[in-house]
Homo-oligomer: A and B are copies of this chain.
Amino acid sequence: MKDKNISVAVIRRLPKYHRYLKELLDKDIRRISSKELSSIIGFTASQIRQDLNNFGGFGQQGYGYNVEDLYSEISKILGLTRKYNVVIVGAGNLGQALANYASFGRLGFDLKALFDINPKFMGLKINDVEVLDMDKFESFVNENNVEIVYICTSRAGAQDVADHIQKTNVKAIWNFAPIDLKVKEDIIVENVHLIDNLLTVSYFLKENQ
């Protein structure tokens, strides 16, 4: 694995490779060429070969790629060879939806608790995981080695949560609140702006008329 100066564009394609390779595995397909993969994943064969070669020569000339090996390599690259303890802040619908999303757990993202400030959620169990009071947040995440926090609060509450997080050992934030969070540099923040996505839909709708 070489792994130097890989562009973000490449990184953001990796999960798609991971997803499609899993599908191939499930269909018991053992071997695939960049050309075949191209036809199902929609990237050019050239791009596929170049993307993969950023990390090492996983293929074999004259043969193609072994699906299982490639899946395993990409899993490694994506950091999926170990577990991550995570918690969710905000036990509303979105928080509950993520808590119930089995595939996250299957990939190694272990949900340890949900947190909320609303008393009505306290003690509730979602998919066997308990909702706790926000009071206990900082001590809980440090004691349980939580590395990732999913923020599913309202816009108003999100920066507040981020401020709490900065006092802990949490390393990354996956933020669904419609705000770009400000945190110290060493915390990884991935903002998911659903609304941005919907607005591109309306743009293309308008263009198509």
Interface residues, chain A, with chain B CB atoms under 8 Å away:
11-12, 14-16, 18-19, 42, 77-80, 84, 92-94, 96-98, 100-101, 103-104, 107-109, 147-148, 171-172, 174, 178, 180, 186, 188, 190, 192-206, 208
Say yes or no: B78 contacts A178, CB within 8 Å.
Answer: no
Residues of the B chain whose Cβ atoms lie less than 8 Å from the Cβ of A96 = 93, 97
- A15 surroundings in chain B (CB, below 8 A): 193, 195-197, 199-200
18 A-B interface contacts by CB (under 8 A)? A11-B200, A12-B196, A12-B200, A18-B199, A19-B195, A78-B206, A84-B205, A94-B97, A96-B97, A98-B194, A107-B199, A172-B201, A174-B197, A174-B198, A188-B205, A188-B208, A190-B201, A190-B204
Chain B residues near A107 (CB-CB < 8 A): 195, 198-199
A15 to B192, CA, bound (A): 13
Residues of B within 8 A of A18 (CB): 199
A108 to B107 alpha-carbon distance, docked (Å): 37
Residues of B within 8 A of A103 (CB): 178, 195
From B97, B188, B190, B199, contact of A14 by CB (8 A): B199
Q: Is the CB of B79 within 8 A of A202?
A: yes
Residues of B within 8 A of A202 (CB): 78-80, 84, 108-109
Most chain-B CB neighbours within 10 Å: which of A77, A101, A201?
A: A201
